[in-house]
Amino acid sequence: MTLALKQIEKISKALGDSNRLKILQYIAAKGGCGECSGLHEVVGLAQPSISHHVKILVESGLIEGEKEGRNYSYTLNCGVLDQYLSSLRQLETKGNSPIFAPC
């Protein structure tokens, strides 16, 4: 399944910030599921800023949040990440068309 261009754009924008990349790396290092409480130590930002970055990652579909009591945990959405990478690979295979001229 291929992602819509709007979804590819959202994911690309979400990946375009070093703090969001650090959050993704933290979750991946925790086996794909990380606690919200550990994010402050990873990115060193105030809680409102962390919430903003997490919101963008959730809206892009890269992570999913789950509330457990008063705590939140976030899980990588590997399916969306795989679809995103596949969509980017399709650009490479279409490189022979005039729209995607080689660099």
Question: How many domains does the structure of the chain reveal?
Answer: 1
pLDDT at residue 7 in the model: 93
- The domain spanning residue 30 has which CATH number? 1.10.10.10
Residues 52-91 have pLDDT tens digits of: 999 999 999 999 999 988 889 999 999 999 999 999 888 7
pLDDT value at 100 more than 80 = no
Contact (Cβ atoms closer than 8 angstroms) between residue 62 and residue 76: yes
75 found inside a domain? yes
Expressed as residue numbers, the domain containing 61 is 5-94
As a whole number of angstroms, the distance between CA 95 and CA 103 comes to: 10
What is this structure's pTM?
0.85
